[in-house]
Chain A
Amino acid sequence: MNRQLFRASSQKGITFGIVLIFLVLINFHIMAATMISKLMGTNVLRGAIPEVRFLTYFLVFFGIWIGWSAASKSEKAGTRVLQGLVAGLSMGVVVALFDLILVYLLQTQTDMRRYLTNLGFDNINFFLQGFGANGILVHLGMFVLSGVVGSVLEIFFQSEGVANSKQAVRNFLAESKDQILDRLPDLVKKTGKYLFYLILLVLLFMLPSRWGSYYNFVFGLVGLYVIAGIGLNIMLGLSGQFMIGLAAFFAMGAYSVALLNAPQPHGLMWGFWPALLIGILAAVIVAILMGLPTARLRGDYLGIVTLGFGEIVRLLLQSDVLSKFTGGPRGIQNIQGPTLMGKPFNDVTYMYLILICMAVSIFLYYRLEKSRTGRAWLAIKEDLIVAQATGVNIQKYRLLALCIGAAFAGLAGGIFAARNLFTGPNDHTFMVSINILSLIIVGGMNSIPGILLGAFTLKGLPEILREIENYRLLVFGALLVVMMLVRPEGLWPASRPNLEHEVKEKIMKDKALSEEESDA
């Protein structure tokens, strides 16, 4: 038997065990059990502990996963099962050690909640599945068994030419895609893309008035983040300037609309539309102020400086120095929104407004990307020095990208403030910038479907799945790291070919060919 394989699988088991302990310490397992029980039709009250069997499903799922992932590397069936066994056993041992501590805590009645908030006695009993001290053995057995089951599952996928289940699934998906494409009539194949867009458009214009104010709220937020995301994408994706201070522009839009349309602190009532325009202008002016002095900075330095700018804007809004002018830490209440035929906007009209703004932004984005300016940005992004040598005015185009991106962010901020009827410094924290950044990164840079997908996964899903709310930021952070490790191009990468990469590949191919020839 190969010793290295066993070391790998036992390491995997220990890692999974530690991850499971971490999840237990942050109460994640209760959330998972709640979601499983809701999926199976048993409702759980908010804050209540679900039935024990749902936790068992979760743990068994975990065990099968570890067995499956540990087994997918080797070739022989027997080795695979052994690997699953080793991984399950080592995970079981880690968890059993943790259980031992839990049982000790239970028996001495030591309250650890002062240190680790989630380690109450109810939670300990729940994790031990109500077995008390016997829970240790139950866990050990369960993980070993489910690890073996996972590895056996893996064997079923094994066949001629298919190394593991991942490949099997990939093959299956590709085959079924081909089959579906074969069966479709030609008309659909030709116009399918447009048909899809048409259906999407009709749905988008039907839905807002149908699905109720909650979904309007959620998807309105998603739409606003899409607009801001397009703005950031122009800076980061098109022109390659790393910005983490987008909240500053967002704040400019929001505060312009708020200050010009609220009874406090100025009592100006200029109406929403001029205020929105002024907000966009203000964002552009701030972008110029930010862009001119930092024109020479690049990469991560630019990122940190813009972060500093964003924080300065927020701290100024929050401080007492400007409180007479901007409302200080309390923010601005009772913002007057736009009106439609004498009636103030409600959630449906806001949704339509956001949809229209989104459509316009997407259209502008595509036009910009294909334009001369877009090509200049691409040149700057790919290689600054070459771009300069080819006659691209770097500083001008970089500043232009900043201004246009800032205008989008200001637009989103303005609508955001009017829709919420309130804005304050806490709406424009560093986390807003990070949210927008991560939706681009997770979705896929330079790709509009990617941005839509990213905004939906990062802003929409956590709102819909209320249980996950507490873990949203944690998942954000983990997602950013994992995406960078596994898929730096994003969930739905841009279809624009990576020119540099292709050229490199071609050169390599040519080299290989010429070498073969010379060998012959």
Chain B
Amino acid sequence: MQAKKESPPRIKRRNYFNIIRTIFGILVAAYVVWRLYTVLVVEQQYTPDIWIRLLIAGLIIGGVYSLVAIGYTLVYGILFMINFAHGEVMMIGMFAGYFFLEATKSIQTASGLNFSNAHPVITVLLAFVIGMTVASTTGFFLEKIAYRPLRKAPRLIPLISAIGASIFLQNAAQLLFSPQVRDYANPSVINRGIGWPVTIAGANITISYTGALTFGMSILLMIGLYWLVQKTKLGKAMRAVALDKKTAALMGIDVDAIISRTFIISGALAGAAGVMWGFHNGITYFYVGFLPGIKAFTAAVLGGIGNIPGAMLGGMFLGLIESIAPTALGISYQLKDVIAFVILIVILIFRPSGILGEVLSEEKV
């Protein structure tokens, strides 16, 4: 029989971090509960149709965030770096789509209409194709020029390079296309603001065509991406490289090529997101990619960075929160960007692995 071991004396160390974390969490939770109580129970000034409208708006914007967030997640999963210039890739896709739409407006067809109004379906599809192509080309060259030579450098160096690339792309767009804010030239069938009228709870709600297009397209692309990653050979190779680069290389996978293709795929998704953003929000200028980029990163962290379904879920979640929270908490709508950043901080403090993410080791975080 073994003698019962005496447990070693435990060294008591007060962990200030945990105490502060708890206090912080209680404060945030108390604030949220208090605001929700005031708005929903005490004031009760919003009818159900307002909530449904906000829900729809949140889902639409969430689809865009999801697509951009997938780009962050794909790159982070493979390279463990934040592709800071991803928002700018989206902006470039948006501009490519815009230029194509403008060009179609200037082509006259036999029926007397311009091309854009005569064949709206072809125009919209081509706008997506062109936006995605240009954005993925940008992503490809971005990786080749700014990231690939830094593959073996310490982790901060590629990030600084990415920040530099982001500033460069922003200002190149400003200098090339002028700082002016432009209206996105939708084909007139899907002009902003028109849509299907729906009656919900006794109130008329319009589901705009652009919103439906955005949401449908984002869902389609997400399904396509999921199929690509799970079912194809390329997806298998990508997953292998994400797990272990060295072993993947030993199995005959060209790691550099896979990383390049990852950037192409994430660029294509960002380009599609950019064209959607243009169709739905209707303006484009050089700085337009910055905030969606940061927010999509938040979404990726929210879902668990490196995790594709997590990024999809995180994007939707962030879109919904951003749309509903200002009203639900009774905060000024100007502060909706603050909400996204606060969510980012809260998530990183309490659950750095995100909603669905695998538990990252402390080293990675």
CB-CB < 8 A to B170: which residues of A? 473, 477
Closest to B19 in A: A292
Question: Is A297 positioned at the interface, with any CB of B under 8 Å from its CB?
Answer: yes
Query: Are A474 and B341 in contact, CB atoms less than 8 angstroms apart?
Result: no
CA distance A295 to B170 in the complex (A): 32
B197 CB → nearest A CB, Å: 34
CA distance A319 to B335 in the complex (A): 7
Given the contacts A117-B176, A319-B334, A481-B168, A308 and B160 also touching, CB distance less than 8 Å? no
CA distance A473 to B155 in the complex (A): 24
CB-CB < 8 A to A321: which residues of B? 331-332, 334-335
Q: Give the interface SS of chain B, mostly helix, strand, loop or mixed.
A: helix
CB-CB < 8 A to A308: which residues of B? 294, 298, 341-342, 344-345
Question: Is A316 positioned at the interface, with any CB of B under 8 Å from its CB?
Answer: yes
Query: Which of B48-56, B145-153, B226-234 touches A?
Result: B145-153
Bitwise, B153-192 to A at CB < 8 A (1) or not (0) is 1011111110111111111100111100000000000000
Query: Are B177 and A116 in contact, CB atoms less than 8 angstroms apart?
Result: yes
CA distance A298 to B364 in the complex (A): 8
Query: Which of A19-27, A100-108, A218-226 touches B?
Result: A19-27
A380 CB → nearest B CB, Å: 14
List B residues 25-72 near A (Cβ within 8 Å). none
List B residues 318-360 near A (Cβ within 8 Å). 331-332, 334-335, 337-338, 341-342, 344-345, 348-349, 352
CB-CB < 8 A to A312: which residues of B? 338, 341-342
CB-CB < 8 A to B236: which residues of A? none
CB-CB < 8 A to A204: which residues of B? none
Question: Is B209 positioned at the interface, with any CB of A under 8 Å from its CB?
Answer: no
CA distance A250 to B103 in the complex (A): 46
Question: Is A479 positioned at the interface, with any CB of B under 8 Å from its CB?
Answer: yes
Number of residues of chain B lying within 8 A (CB) of chain A: 55
A117 CB → nearest B CB, Å: 4
Bitwise, A1-33 to B at CB < 8 A (1) or not (0) is 000000000000000000000100111000000
CB-CB < 8 A to B99: which residues of A? 115
Query: Are B17 and A296 in contact, CB atoms less than 8 angstroms apart?
Result: yes
Bitwise, B135-148 to A at CB < 8 A (1) or not (0) is 00000000001100
Query: Are B164 and A305 in contact, CB atoms less than 8 angstroms apart?
Result: no
Partner of A304, one of B82, B169, B175: B82
Question: Is A42 positioned at the interface, with any CB of B under 8 Å from its CB?
Answer: no
Query: Are B164 and A476 in contact, CB atoms less than 8 angstroms apart?
Result: yes
Closest to B146 in A: A481
Query: Are A115 and B102 in contact, CB atoms less than 8 angstroms apart?
Result: yes
Given the contacts A298-B365, A307-B294, A476 and B176 also touching, CB distance less than 8 Å? no
Partner of B161, one of A295, A434, A485: A485
Partner of B159, one of A300, A320, A483: A300
Query: Are A315 and B17 in contact, CB atoms less than 8 angstroms apart?
Result: no
Given the contacts A299-B155, A312-B338, A474-B175, A480 and B344 also touching, CB distance less than 8 Å? no
A-B CB proximity, top 8 nearest: A480-B164, A477-B168, A477-B167, A117-B178, A308-B341, A26-B175, A484-B161, A474-B171
Can you list 9 A-B contacts (CB < 8 A)? A114-B102, A294-B349, A297-B348, A307-B294, A474-B167, A478-B168, A484-B158, A484-B161, A485-B146
Interface residues of B (CB under 8 A from A): 16-17, 20-21, 24, 81-82, 99, 102, 145-146, 149-150, 153, 155-161, 163-172, 175-178, 290, 294, 297-298, 301, 331-332, 334-335, 337-338, 341-342, 344-345, 348-349, 352, 362, 365
Interface residues of A (CB under 8 A from B): 22, 25-27, 114-118, 242, 244, 292-301, 303-305, 307-309, 311-312, 315-316, 318-321, 395, 430, 434, 437-438, 441, 470-471, 473-474, 476-481, 483-485, 488
Instruction: Beyond A297-B352, A320-B334, list 6 extra A-B contacts (CB 8 Å).
Output: A242-B156, A295-B17, A300-B155, A308-B294, A480-B165, A485-B150
